[in-house]
Amino acid sequence: MELCCIVQLGVPSSASPGTLLSSPMLKEHDITQQSEGMRTLSLGGHVGFDSLPDQLVSKSVSQGFCFNILCVGETGIGKSTLMNTLFNTTFENEEASHYLDKVLLRPRTYDLQESNVQLKLTIVDTVGFGDQVNKEESYKPIVDYIDTQFENYLQEELKIKRSLFNYHDTRIHVCLYFIAPTGHSLKSLDLVTMKKLDSKVNIIPIIAKADTISKSELHKFKIKVMSELVSNGVQIYQFPTEDEAIAEINSSMNAHLPFAVVGSSEEVKVGNKMVRARQYPWGAVQVENESHCDFVRLREMLIRVNMEDLREQTHARHYELYRRCKLEEMGFKDTDPDNEPFSLQETYEAKRKEFLSDLQRKEEDMRQMFVNRVKETEAELKEKERELHDRFELLKRTHQEEKRNVEEKRRDLEEDMNSFNRRKVAAETLQGQAFQAASQLSIKKDKDKKNFFTLPSACSLTAGRNLN
């Protein structure tokens, strides 16, 4: 039983021999073949294919594993601290602002090694989630990111020359949804986001900073959260109970959801040993003490027991759903309307003919549209040309009319100027004649006056002479 568990944890989630051996489809196929008359034979001696699980384990360990975690929660709720606590290391972290206008997804990949097992871990942080005033579309960047990773993997699968062996699988295997410890109920943003994500990723809800509320309040809050998730139809990840080896522990852990966790990378001395804890004036909250928080339960379920199941669920459930929807959009189906097997070649040829006919039709429509637009443009140009010609003729007539008016005004002005000059000359002539006449009259007056004053003297002189 222990060996079977090791094989399950070691097989990659992509199409590998281990997955095929452990898949329910193969078991159903074997049962069907046995029911059709296949005989079961016993071996006469040791053959050696019982070492196949060991071969798979060795091959898987040499290839390494990948695991991708999506952390969804408000800024400052403790996502980075919990990641550091989970993997007992310190990841790169940048202080996030509370004033981003949209949600940004920041993926970071790290190479980790424990014993001889290598893990390529990708942590995707939702920066700015819940910080906007309008939170209606806060979930869209997260959904788009998950779909983009599915699409990248699908494109790699559909290539003629595939390289899935060394392909870096970035599909999200688990979403740790951080719930604020309000003690009342879930926010509408949390319900809407988880509802949009539950068909695309494995959701594990956790109550962050669980040391900020009392135990009684925490217990009631857990019940309230699970009740709201059920009533709103949100499907969270349930730890599998099919395997008898882990059925009991997984069943008990399903009852503890959502996990109430506390994260801390600081070590505090409690008693005679150093433990990771958060120190308060009234005491210390120990991270790995199950009576204080559910951190140990989360670590056990997420990493030590169900990591491979999360990878398989991502590939077999969420990715297959995305792949099926995409292929159905492209027109591919498993059976035709008569429930006969569908040939990929026939489907391709049919879709190709449909595409070519649709392309030809669109080309004809575009050609006809182009001809119509050319005719409309020509008609518009002719109409504008006619309008411009009429406007030019009108301006020409107006110009000629204004030119005639200006010429008439110029002629009238010249006649007025000639008449004024004639009058001016006549006035100057009259003025000269008048001035000349006045000058002559003045001279005559002066002569008369002179003659008048000189006449008595002459008379007296003549009289004196006569007396002598």
pLDDT at 218 over 60: yes
- Which pLDDT belongs to residue 108? 95
**Residue among 172, 171, 146 at smallest CA distance from 157:** 171
What does the block give as tokens for 179?
A: 């719930």
The CB density around residue 459, as the number of other CB atoms within 10 Å, is 8
Q: What is the mean pLDDT of residues 181-202?
A: 93
Residue type for 239, please?
Answer: F
Please provide the DSSP assignment of 284-312 as one string.
EEETT-TTT-SHHHHHIIIIIISHHHHHH
Residue 443: pLDDT above 60? yes
Q: What is the pLDDT of residue 172?
A: 97
447 pLDDT tier (thresholds 50, 70, 90): confident
Question: What is the mean predicted confidence (pLDDT) over 206-214?
Answer: 93
Query: How far are the Cα atoms of 99, 198, 408, 438 from residue 103, in angstroms, in the given order?
Result: 10, 19, 79, 110
319-331 pLDDT, tens digit per residue, is 999 999 998 887 7
User: Scanning the structure block, which residue is given the tokens 């034979």?
Assistant: 41
Indicate the pTM of the whole model.
0.68
Torsion of CA 154, 205, 71, 97, to 10 degrees: 140
pLDDT of 459 strictly over 60: no
pLDDT for residue 455: 57
pLDDT of 120 reads: 95
What is the pLDDT of the chain when averaged over all its residues?
A: 85
Confidence of residue 339 (pLDDT cuts 50, 70, 90): low
Report the largest interatomic distance among the alpha carbons of the chain, rounded to a whole angstrom.
Answer: 212
What is the model's pLDDT at position 2? 36
Mean pLDDT, range 35-60, rounded to an integer: 85
Is 50 exceeded by the pLDDT of residue 360?
yes
Rounded CA gap, 206 and 254, in Å? 12
pLDDT of residue 457: 53
Task: Retrieve residue 154's tokens.
Answer: 């699908």
Rounded mean pLDDT, 203-220: 93
